[in-house]
Structure 1
């Protein structure tokens, strides 16, 4: 992905979640104001310090808006997944933190990322926390927000992000099941992104999945054959590869995960092939003819097997909102 700039200025803001906000009018029209200068400082910090796994686009005509994509890191159930966020700076920035909306496609992939798009984070003042964890007008930056989401939210065991969840053995078991459910949702989001990438990231999304498609399908293959726990496949990511185990050593994964993967993995494989990923001649045992139009029902909700997994997790979290 080296040919894609980590930071760039673009013009098309037509699909931005916060495009209707009025905050940007006074900011853009006052290039000598403190808010304008604060946002320009943010641009400079991001341009000079973004890691390889975060990409940002800012808008020439609406400097109060920004869009970022975070690549899920190895060693988590979010590996090789893309997470898009629309960002807006308020009219009194940095006195108040930026506003964020997560491109969830209706899926709850993390206790801190709601299917409504809400991002729950102390640094954004959308969650309670110690004073040092909350937004500091004199020191906090947009870069810190993005790094916090990548490192603290999209982590190895997101189940424990939910307040009140202990570290007992049965919680570890639920955490593993949560990772399985999350991984399937990540695949569904990948499929949606290939069908309709966010503006200004079209080429990026398609190039990313062409490059990472083979590794993603290898991970699916290992997971479905119970060779490694979900989130721990690392082949091609620079940190070794998952070793195949004997039948006696095979890891036990939930029946729900296996059923949903049998449905979702072939659909994503077909999308990767249509996108030009170099896997045209490869064949997996679980491949079968597909009817892609039936991926979701008309309401956009996942199929029944995944619903059962999510309901189980919801009971553990005592969630009242739908996932």
Structure 2
């Protein structure tokens, strides 16, 4: 269940232009976008009507009255995923022969590799866009497919629970609790937090009120989730809200994740305060429990030891194995003598 919003920002709206759009500098290539009697123009107007009537509360779209071939969309990450409470922006362009070809979609990535289908370059890998192989029924169908379907697919199939399994080389029958899957979730959450920081610094034009209002409202929940995950009180993606940790139980505290959270957390507190979020009660630094503190001390100790310390530990491990082997050989010899 999604968190209800207290702020108002229209799901769909027409604006004069979409500044900074990834495809803005590219020529629209045809007068088909200005010929209101043409098939392409009429199809795009139909797309606008579909979006206006059917967008879910977690997706927002702005279209341009001067360049009807361009639109920009924002998607809120769903609960139950490592992308919860994040904002994800996509620049979309209709080709001149639309709908014969699917729209072009560019993800505003900040160069963060937070999903197997969303590249650092902004490329979006999705069967519906014909950018990934798939069954015929999954690919773009000019007579049926729509931009709304593209946005819903990105939200449900890309920004999903267990994104690690979107990797084509990963075997699907593995458990969601697979070590690599959990590690990927932690990394994705950290990069979602870093993306939030970047968006507050530089929100896409036309979406400034959404970025400010969304993070102002969700700030405390995001910070509480950071603490719960860093202390192993909840599995990444399943912190429901302030005061309700979601899936509880003992969760492994990752050293890498702990270090990342200790950097990200104060950065977010600072940015949230800058937009007027009510985070006065939030700690300036990440609050860690006994187990997390123990892990932190271990990290600090290993950092002090450096490369030499790693070599010493390896040598001790090797020598320990040799001693065990020698003991086993002695025991075997004793047995042989007794026999």
TM-score after normalising by structure 2 = 0.80
Pair 1:210 & 2:199 matched? no
The alignment partner of 1:23 has SS state of coil
- What is residue 97 of structure 1 aligned with on the other side? 102
Taking the TM superposition and a 5 Å limit, the aligned residue runs for 1:238-317 are 241-242=244-245, 250-283=250-283, 286=286
- Deviation, structure 1 residue 187: 0.6
- Deviation, structure 1 residue 3: 1.4
2:137 to 132, 136, 147: 132
Taking the TM superposition and a 5 Å limit, the aligned residue runs for 1:139-218 are 139-166=144-171, 167-168=173-174, 172-218=178-224
- Give the conservation status (yes or no) of the 8 Å contact 1:221–1:284: no
- Give the conservation status (yes or no) of the 8 Å contact 1:24–1:63: no
CA RMSD of aligned residues (A): 2.0
- Give the conservation status (yes or no) of the 8 Å contact 1:165–1:171: no
Aligned-partner Cα distance in 1 for 2:246–2:200: 30
- Give the conservation status (yes or no) of the 8 Å contact 2:18–2:63: no
Aligned-partner Cα distance in 2 for 1:198–1:41: 25
Look at both structures and tell me which one has the larger radius of gyration over its CA atoms.
2
Kindly provide the CA deviation profile for residues 275-294 of structure 1, in whole angstroms up to 9, marking residues without a partner as x.
Answer: 1101123336627xxxxxxx
The alignment partner of 1:232 has SS state of coil
Aligned-partner Cα distance in 1 for 2:146–2:269: 39
TM-score after normalising by structure 1 = 0.83
Kindly provide the CA deviation profile for residues 196-248 of structure 1, in whole angstroms up to 9, marking residues without a partner as x.
Answer: 10000011101111001111011111111110011111115xxx921696xxx
Runs of 4+ that moved beyond 4 A: none
Aligned-partner Cα distance in 2 for 1:82–1:135: 26
Aligned-partner Cα distance in 2 for 1:40–1:12: 16
Aligned-partner Cα distance in 2 for 1:90–1:170: 38
Aligned-partner Cα distance in 2 for 1:210–1:203: 10
Aligned-partner Cα distance in 1 for 2:232–2:246: 11
Aligned-partner Cα distance in 2 for 1:150–1:57: 17
Pair 1:66 & 2:71 matched? yes
Aligned-partner Cα distance in 1 for 2:163–2:17: 34
- Give the conservation status (yes or no) of the 8 Å contact 2:33–2:96: no
Aligned-partner Cα distance in 2 for 1:92–1:152: 27
Question: Taking structure 1 as reference, are residues 17 and 285 closer, same or farther at Cα in structure 2, changes over 3 Å only?
Answer: closer
- Deviation, structure 1 residue 31: 1.2
Question: Taking structure 1 as reference, are residues 31 and 260 closer, same or farther at Cα in structure 2, changes over 3 Å only?
Answer: same
Aligned-partner Cα distance in 2 for 1:156–1:170: 9
Question: Taking structure 1 as reference, are residues 281 and 168 closer, same or farther at Cα in structure 2, changes over 3 Å only?
Answer: closer
Question: Taking structure 1 as reference, are residues 169 and 92 closer, same or farther at Cα in structure 2, changes over 3 Å only?
Answer: closer
- Give the conservation status (yes or no) of the 8 Å contact 2:74–2:88: yes
Kindly provide the CA deviation profile for residues 227-272 of structure 1, in whole angstroms up to 9, marking residues without a partner as x.
Answer: 0011111115xxx921696xxx531131100111011111111110
Which of the pair is proportionally richer in helix? 2
- Give the conservation status (yes or no) of the 8 Å contact 1:82–1:190: yes
Pair 1:15 & 2:10 matched? no
Gaps of 5+ in 1: 288-304, 306-323
